[in-house]
């Protein structure tokens, strides 16, 4: 079985540009999570979805960040416009809802904003 | 709200040394408890878990016991290997009043020297 798939694996962009990160969760999982990891702040939960509906977006840093889940097999995290302080590794994870079940993480997207 | 406190790293050990990484949590309910591990350049993956008091989770020689009276879930390994070098995250799962989510600690960097 394929795990959580993220693309791109690496992204380098210039300040002010739009960045779109993509995630395909594990088939059959109905919860999806976006995390950001930096040295300074550690691992932060940005937003999570259940059955394609956003449940908690309190971790989204500001209006420049937006996330969508148009169907059960795809989600995007968009940053517009990007800033150097957005540089981080962004992880997507998926799990089954309603149980204290394992979250499965993707390999991450390393974003560098110049 | 829920929170988790992990022993600050980095932790540096020689091969075959004994490892303890402390973790304490606060939770409004009765959480399940997880340890995740992140190897260099990868996403997080589940190491072990425990779902009720006095349960012991174990995997790859690592163990942790759910101590409700001390709200702790310390990670131990009797003899570490170079391949155990990674970042370790303690995470209670709060079932709460919504669908539940993991609360990750700051992570503890472990380096094992041959």
pLDDT (tens digit, 9 = 90+) per residue, A4-22? 999 999 999 999 999 999 9
Alpha carbon dihedral A9, A40, B66, B83, in 10-degree steps, equals 50
Asked if residues B62 and B75 have their Cβ atoms less than 8 Å apart, the reply is yes
pLDDT for B96 equals 60
Confidence of residue B94 (pLDDT cuts 50, 70, 90): confident
Distances from the Cα of B108 to the Cα of A34, B35, B86, angstroms: 21, 11, 8
Determine the residue among A31, A43, A105, A106 to mutate to test chain B binding: the one whose Cβ has the most chain B Cβ atoms within 10 Å.
Answer: A43
pLDDT of amino acid A100: 57
How close does chain A come to B2, measured CA to CA in Å?
A: 14
- Tokens at A97, concatenated: 């809802």
Over 60: is that where the pLDDT of B79 sits?
A: yes
Give the pLDDT band of residue B23 (cuts 50, 70, 90): very high
As beta bridge partners, residue A89 has A37, A110
Nearest CA in chain B to A44: B104
Residues B107, A42: C-beta atoms closer than 8 Å: yes
Mean pLDDT of A52-59: 90
């Amino acid at each position: 079985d394929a795990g959580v798939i993220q693309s791109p694996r690496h992204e380098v962009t210039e300040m002010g540009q739009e960045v779109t990160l993509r995630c395909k969760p594990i088939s059959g999982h109905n919860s999806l999570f976006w995390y950001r990891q930096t040295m300074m702040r550690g691992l932060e939960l940005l937003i999570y979805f259940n059955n394609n509906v956003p449940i908690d977006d309190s971790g989204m840093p500001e209006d420049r960040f937006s996330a969508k889940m148009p169907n059960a097999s795809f989600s995007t995290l968009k940053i517009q416009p990007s800033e150097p302080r957005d540089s981080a590794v962004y992880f997507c994870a998926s799990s089954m809802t309603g149980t204290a079940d394992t979250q499965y993480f993707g390999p991450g997207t390393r974003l560098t904003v110049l | 709200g829920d929170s988790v406190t992990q022993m600050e790293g980095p932790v540096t050990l020689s091969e075959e040394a004994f490892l303890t990484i402390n973790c304490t949590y606060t939770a409004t309910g009765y959480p399940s408890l997880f340890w995740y591990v992140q190897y260099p350049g990868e996403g997080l993956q589940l190491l072990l878990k425990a779902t009720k008091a006095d349960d012991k989770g174990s995997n790859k020689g690592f163990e942790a016991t759910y101590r409700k009276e001390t709200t702790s879930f310390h990670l131990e390994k009797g003899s570490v290997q170079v391949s155990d070098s990674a970042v370790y995250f303690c995470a209670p799962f709060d079932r709460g009043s919504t669908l539940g989510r993991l609360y990750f600690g700051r992570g503890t960097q472990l380096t094992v020297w041959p």
